[in-house]
Amino acid sequence: MTIKITGTGSELPEKIVTNFDMQELVETSDEWIRERTGIAERRISTGETVSSLSAKACQKALEMAGKAASEVELIIVATCSPELLLPCCACQVQDMIGASNAAAFDMNAACSGFLFALNTVNAYLQAGIYKNALIAGSEVLSKLVDWTDRGTCVLFGDGAGAAFVEASADDAVYDNGRKAGLECMVQGSDGAKGMVLSCAERPVNNAFVSEKQTVNPYIQMNGQEVYKFATRQVPACINKALDKAGLCVDDVDLFILHQANVRIIESVAKRLKADIAKFPMNLDKVGNMSSATIPVLLDELNRSGKIKKGDRIVLSGFGAGLTYGASVLVW
């Protein structure tokens, strides 16, 4: 038995903020941002929430899969920017789409969140606990960004992507000799270096604390350390997954990576000795959406026909934690 993604969906806020808009807010320029990140514009919420974006992406994934919300058995929303601590975003999504028969919970592995959720769903489905699941990666990072800090505010965007996943016993083989489904997945964390990318929650200021604490509520990032981590760990993680599946880089048709920075993606391609043409990108239009980047790009490629049945794809993400992961699957 394996698992298959049978539906994808995505949703972005209506507001487009270009680099020229950003240079009206902070000391920067279109050229400076493009050269260092590859980003030209991003979508920014003017009222859309993590839950509303998730729900719309999930509905689109269900429509593609030909499923009703009442058939969904599990919902996992990967996010690090929910509007509410309680109830969780997944329960809000459950209510919004009418998936009354589903269990629902959130997961926070930052930019690796969608992959960690996919691995969790795989475990549930392989164990026979559930037969299907909705996974969403959704973020409204614009509320976590200091809009006076050009080192971070130019990077991030808002949005959501989703996938409907089903257990499958189908052993049909494509003409290229491949069977559809998940072939391998690896994931890991390096918590010792976690503070190079952080965002504080409310401090402990209860009735028993004598000295009240204050925190910086915005994203804090050491860009150089994150870059070094990503360019080292992502190719290593991908190679580990391919080795585990008995495959090599040449066996992969597409590498769908977390869309953080064009330089990181180019470096990963170089270290893997893979053709950069196999690394589709959309960060120029949406920026870094953390857990939403992989499912949004996956949906974009799926709906445009750029992923075909029998294609072998690698999904790989990295982010705060520090977390990282890679999965290998045949579409």
| Domain 2-168 annotated CATH 3.40.47.10 | yes
Contact 164, 61 (CB under 8 A): yes
Asked if domains 2-168 and 181-330 share a fold, the reply is yes
| Per annotation, catalytic residue among 19, 122, 288, 302 | 288
What's the pLDDT at 172? 81
What are the sequence ranges of the domains in the chain? Answer: 2-168, 181-330
**Rounded to 10 degrees, what is the CA torsion of 247, 248, 252, 257?**
110
Distance, in Å, from the CA atom of 132 to the CA atom of 121, rounded to the nearest integer, reads 8
pTM over 0.95, yes/no: yes
Catalytic status, residue 282: no
Per-residue pLDDT reduced to its tens digit, 172-227: 899 898 999 999 999 999 999 999 999 999 999 999 999 999 999 999 999 999 99
pLDDT digits (tens, 9 = 90+) for 121-167: 999 999 999 999 999 999 999 999 999 999 999 999 999 999 999 99
Q: What is the rounded radius of gyration, in angstroms, for the C-alpha atoms of the chain? A: 19
The predicted structure's pLDDT at residue 170: 82
* DSSP assignment string, 50-95: HHHHHHHHHHHHHHHHT--GGG--EEEEE-S--S-SSS-HHHHHHH
| Residue position matching structure tokens 């499912």 | 295
Query: How confident is the model at residue 169, as a pLDDT?
Result: 86
Question: For 222-241, how does the pLDDT look when each residue is reduced to its tens digit (9 = 90+)?
Answer: 999 999 999 999 999 999 99
User: Is 288 assigned a catalytic role?
Assistant: yes
Give me the chain's average pLDDT, please.
Answer: 97
Exposure string over 10-37, b if 16+ CB within 10 A, otherwise e? bbbbeeebebeebbeeeebebeebeeeb
d(CA 165, CA 75): 10
Alpha-carbon gap, residue 168 to 301, rounded angstroms: 23
pLDDT tens for residues 230-279?
999 999 999 999 999 999 999 999 999 999 999 999 999 999 999 999 99
Whether 327 contacts 115, CB under 8 Å: yes
**Beta-carbon-side half-sphere exposure of residue 170 (alpha carbons within 13 Å):** 16
CA angle in degrees (0–180, nearest 5) for 76-226-221: 85
CA 271/CA 265 separation, integer angstroms: 10
d(CA 117, CA 112) in angstroms, rounded, equals: 9
Structure tokens, 207: 């009735």
Instruction: Tell me whether the omega of the peptide bond preceding residue 242 falls within 30 degrees of 0, making it cis.
Output: no
Is 222 a known active-site residue? no
Tokens of 211: 């000295």
Q: What is the pLDDT of residue 82?
A: 97
Active-site residue (options: 111, 153, 199, 237): 111
Domain 181-330 indexed as CATH 3.30.230.10: no
Catalytic residue among 89, 153, 258, 261: 258
d(CA 24, CA 38): 19
